Structure 1
Amino acid sequence: MAHLKRLAKDIQTMVSDELLSLDIHYWYNEMDMRTGQGLIFGPEDTPYAFCPLVFSVKLPNDYPFASPEVLIMSSDSSTRFHPNLYVGGKVCLSILGTYTGPKWVSTMNIGTVFKSIFSLLNDNPIVNEPGWENHTLANPMARHYAEWVEFNLLKYTVHQYRDYCHKVPTIWSNFKDIFDGPSWKEKWVKIGDKIKRLAERGDKNYVGIPYGMSGTTKWVYLSLEYDAVSLLAVSK
């Protein structure tokens, strides 16, 4: 019974003013309170700006004495959006037991995990990779990684919203109150402004990006896709 009370309390922390001010949201499964999803919107002035990242959460039976299992669900199956967020879903955090460093303690909660993830979403994400801590965006590899992540996350977001507007079940489906609300519409406009601005640079071919990634950004085509999804969103 004490564990259930603690569980209910921690779920309530996920809708606290502090987390909402960071644009962190949570959905829990009413059939099983130990499972849920977290939603983080990327902070401004980063490659993640305005884009939603969705995570699955599973709390073990001995929570809060053991850490949650948290996996990233937002994936295009090829782009490593962050050094700590693997394509296969792994979230690399010491408090989750997936990296060396400070371990989980029972005074922590689900919100602790999501605030930690949010703090990693900076303008130069490669510095979160061991050995890259001193590489500024003046370094071509660091800059190219940030640019590649930005393009592919924006493309992924446009495609996810297209599916959502078509009422295809997506990882966004449990957050209808957000994606049907005014705050998302404002973010969507900002995403469009960002895509249009970056499209002015033209397409660029990338080779030798960290984690073995390479390819070409197609900003103009993405801009056209954005316009098409915007029309779809108005008509849905």
Structure 2
Amino acid sequence: MNRRLEKDIKTMLCDEMASLGIYYAVDESDMRRGFTLIFGPEDSRYANCPLLFSVEYPLDYPISPPIVRILTSDGHTRFHPNLYIEGKVCLSILGTYPGPSWVSSMNIGSVFKSIISLLDNNPIVNEPGWESYNEKHPAAKAYADFVEFHLVKHTLKEYEKYRDGKNTLWSHFSDTFEQFWPNHLEKIQNRLKLKALDEPNHCTNILYGMQGTIHWAKLLPRT
């Protein structure tokens, strides 16, 4: 492993990244691979929900950018315009979108700071042609509502598997989840109690052809 890569990995493990809700785990079988966990920022549609990514460093890193893929998926919801269901992460600095390209002075931390900056209350504006849609626009709100519900639903399903001792993506970050997840879970449950008062909403013609029913009350813990 070259010194630059070693330095960048240490940067990912520093307190600054943790303060942003960004955590990193090295793949023990290959130091050129790793995993990143992001907890969605407070006061956003993604709040308290974990998003997990794989990271792979090419042999000529940092001349070439890392290869980053999102692993969090329920198989049918595109949680963000820049995060594809099949795993693609769409960022110009990764070479997956037009715009300012990667330069060798950047590091893997630059990538995840960029990603977390995109996780807000109106994600639809990141889709080309939708930049002018404010969060009160019906189409923008419908997409954000749909994403928020299905991300929370997926998060709770993953938590159940993790709690039951099943091997999940969360297992790469067992220490982090042990320390921080109870607080995140409490906040998600408080959000559920409020949103459970909403009537079910059957959504059609959501961006990317998504559709389904938003029914928050069904996500409440069984008693």
Fold match (TM-score > 0.5): yes
Distance across 1 between alignment mates of 2:22 and 2:136: 31
What is the alpha-carbon distance in structure 2 between the residues aligned to residue 138 and residue 33 of structure 1? 45
Q: What aligned pairs does 1:116-135 form with structure 2 within 5 A after superposition? A: 116-135=114-133
Q: CA deviation at 1:18?
A: 1.9
Q: Percent identity?
A: 53
Residue 15 (structure 2) pairs with residue 45 (structure 1): no
Q: What is residue 4 of structure 1 aligned with on the other side? A: 2
Please give the per-residue CA displacement for 1:43-67, whole angstroms capped at 9, x wherever unaligned.
Answer: 1111100000000000001101001
Shift of 1:30: 2.8
Q: CA deviation at 1:154?
A: 0.2
Q: 1:176 Cα shift? A: 0.2
Distance in 2, Cα, partners of 1:53 & 1:145: 18
| Deviation of 1:218 (Å) | 1.9
For residue 167 of structure 2, the aligned residue among 154, 164, 169 is 169
1:233 maps to which residue? Answer: none
Q: Does 1:27 align with 2:39?
A: no
For residue 63 of structure 1, what is the amino acid of its counterpart?
A: Y
Residue 216 of structure 2: aligned partner: 219
The match for 1:67 among 65, 68, 75 is 65
Q: Which amino acid aligns with 2:142?
A: H
Offset from partner CA, 1:23-56 (integer Å, 9 cap, x none): 1000012331100000100011111000000000
Letter in 2 for 1:11: I
* Pairs within 5 Å for 1:70-109: 70-109=68-107
* Aligned-residue offset at 1:137: 1.6
RMSD of equivalent CA atoms: 1.1
- The yes-or-no answer on 1:201 pairing with 2:198 is yes
The number of residue pairs the alignment matches comes to 223
| Cα distance per residue 1:203-234 (max 9 Å; x no partner) | 1111111010111012111113xx57xxxxxx
CA distance in 2 between counterparts of 1:165 and 1:186 reads 15
Q: 1:33 is paired with a residue of what secondary structure?
A: coil
> How far, CA to CA, are the matches of 1:208 and 1:31 in structure 2?
44
Aligned to 1:232: none
TM-aligned CA deviation for residue 195 of structure 1: 1.1
Separation in structure 2 between the aligned mates of residue 134 and residue 142 of structure 1, nearest angstrom:
10
5+ residue gaps, structure 2, are none
Per the normalisation by structure 1, the TM-score is 0.92
Number of the residue aligned with 1:184: 181
Structure-2-length-normalised TM-score: 0.97
SS in 1 for 2:55: strand
Cα distance, 1:202 vs structure 2: 2.2
- Amino acid aligned to 1:116: S
Unmatched runs of 5 consecutive residues or more in structure 1: 229-236
